[in-house]
Amino acid sequence: MEVILLLKIKKLGDSGAIVHVKSGYARNFLIPKGKAILANKKNIESFEAQRIELEKENISKLLIAQSRAEKIKKIKSIIIQSKVGKEGKIFGSIGIRNIIKEMTLLGIKVNKKEIKLPNGVLRQVGEHKVIFQPHNEVHEYFIVSVIAKK
């Protein structure tokens, strides 16, 4: 099935590209989520008219994401206290929600989809690298330091 991508989709194509995808993927995911439209003559003509507007919108989203990443870059690290047992293991784990809670206390609003934990949830005391990715093309690393609660 041929579709026109309305957004840049990783491993599929840029905004405005006409791509061939499986019909189930198009019907059940791309079209209902507003990420693509069916590629017929009418839609191709109407999309060409909207293309400039969509590109401006994508550029503005990219600029906003870059400014948010700059704020994260200034922080460098976040400190989270947790109860710790012997051998430096945390009771439970520290996940995305805990990191977001600490970031909101610092005055930075983030969405849970924007935080990536490359090694999974944090279960050890120490410094852990976390990725902030507000846009497909923008990502920034910061450190989460887990320390023992006294």
The vertex-8 CA angle with 38 and 48, nearest 5°, equals 50
- The whole-model pTM stands at 0.69
How many domains, in total, are found in the chain? 2
- What CATH number is associated with residue 106? 3.10.430.100
Q: Are 52 and 121 within one domain?
A: no
Q: Are 77 and 140 within one domain?
A: yes
pLDDT range class, residue 25, cuts 50, 70, 90: very high
Instruction: State the first-to-last Cα distance of the chain, in angstroms, to the nearest integer.
Output: 60
pLDDT number for residue 26: 93
Q: Are 86 and 106 within one domain?
A: yes
Nearest to 6 by CA among 20, 23, 22, 18: 18
| Containing structural domain, residue 58 | 2-66
pLDDT number for residue 137: 85
